[in-house]
Structure 1
Amino acid sequence: MAHRNWPTAGVKYAAIAVIVVASAFFYFQKSSMADGQAMILPVDPTPLVAVTKGGERSFSIEVADTEAEREAGLMFRQDMASDHGMLFVFEETREVNFWMKNTPMPLDLVFVGQNGRIRAIKQGEPFSEAVITPGEPVRFVLELKAGTAASDGIVAGDLLRHPAIGTAPGPGVPPADKGDAPNIDSD
């Protein structure tokens, strides 16, 4: 009769159990659109700066740069500080469409070109399924608490500065190294 090496098998099964439990823990800790919970991304250590005719305005931001993060966005978020926002980073300059179906707070949607220049600012109404689009291709969208753009003097043509904007490659342009100057090409 063959004897199994029970101590080795026990360690193997214990390791598998730990992996399964840890995976389940992290899976259920992550908020998702399906559970009706707001997604909260880490605040980027570098503030986003809007350069306006009246001076510079700084915002702490969350960066949504994956498809899942962009899909969830600020859905289910009840409130947000006036100096906070979410920057949506797309892989390429393209037509984008937003809606507010599961978003209870009104927003300013700031549509931004490859070069960091604001192309359009639109308002988003809570829970609306109306499509919000700038009517032209953009590379970034900054969502702010409704009224923030107007109160801070942010208008189309103003410049947004942030590493996610400055290092985003344009058509045919390789990504910049972290130490390079911002990529301020025209769109």
Structure 2
Amino acid sequence: MALFLATCGAFLQAEPLPSISLQAGIYKIQAEVASTPSSRQLGLMYRVYLPANDGMLFIFENKDTHCFWMRNTKIPLAIAFIGDDGKIVNIEEMKPMSDDNHCPTAPIRYALEMNQNWFSQKGLSAGNVISGIPRR
């Protein structure tokens, strides 16, 4: 079933995204995959809840300095910027409903959003590996 969201008098339709299982050390993650321009742009906007070990994996066609903001995102999130080798480059904590930019410290192709403080609560930081990421 599609979810319809009202904003500025228009309707956005969020189609269900594919989901994959990832692993961060001993921790399992169920991640929706945002791999198209429209799914990456919408991301986790307008949602009010994200289950504890669920997240969203952003996949880009090109390795670059892909920055994120939290416009229209109501859930406080953390983002791990991930290199081609699956290693976390850096992690940023993000405030909801903010236009502040959050950028990787090196060019990346992947980013994983989880609930705020998820990575720090699990003892994960730069250099740790996220496995299960589909390789392009």
Fold shared per TM-score above 0.5 = yes
SS in 2 for 1:79: coil
Distance 1:65 1:43, change over 3 A: closer
Residue in structure 1 matching 2:21, options 28, 47, 52:
47
Gap regions ≥5 residues in structure 2:
none
SS in structure 2 of the partner of residue 115 of structure 1: coil
Q: Give the helix-richer structure, 1 or 2.
A: 1
Q: Partners of 2:73 and 2:11 in 1: how far apart? A: 10
Q: 1:143 to 1:163 in 2, by over 3 A?
A: closer
Scaled by the length of structure 2, what TM-score is found? Answer: 0.88
For structure 1, list consecutive stretches of 5 or more residues without a partner in the other structure: 1-25, 169-187
Could you say if the C-alpha distance between residues 163 and 142 of structure 1 is closer, same or farther in structure 2, counting changes exceeding 3 Å?
A: closer
Q: Secondary structure of the residue that 1:47 maps to in structure 2?
A: strand
- Select between 32-41 and 129-138 the one with higher mean Cα deviation: 32-41
Change (3 A) 1:36 1:150: farther
Q: Which residue type is aligned with residue 50 of structure 2? A: M
Greater RCO (Cα-Cα under 8 Å, separation 6 or more) = 2
CA shift for structure 1 position 87: 0.1
Q: Percent identity?
A: 29
Counterpart check, 1:162 vs 2:132: yes
Q: Distance in 2 between matches of 1:73 and 1:92?
A: 18
Name the SS of the counterpart of 2:130 in structure 1: strand
Q: Which residue of 2 aligns with 1:89?
A: 59
Question: Letter of the aligned partner of 1:157 in structure 2?
Answer: G
Aligned positions, number:
134
Corresponding residue for residue 84 of structure 2: 114
Quote the RMSD (CA, aligned, Å).
2.2
Higher strand share: 2
Query: What's the TM-score once normalised by structure 1's chain length?
Result: 0.65
User: What residue identity is the alignment partner of 1:129?
Assistant: D
Task: Say which of 88, 100, 123 aligns to 1:153.
Answer: 123
1:112 touches 1:120 (CA, 8 Å); kept in 2?
Answer: yes
* 2:47 corresponds to: 77
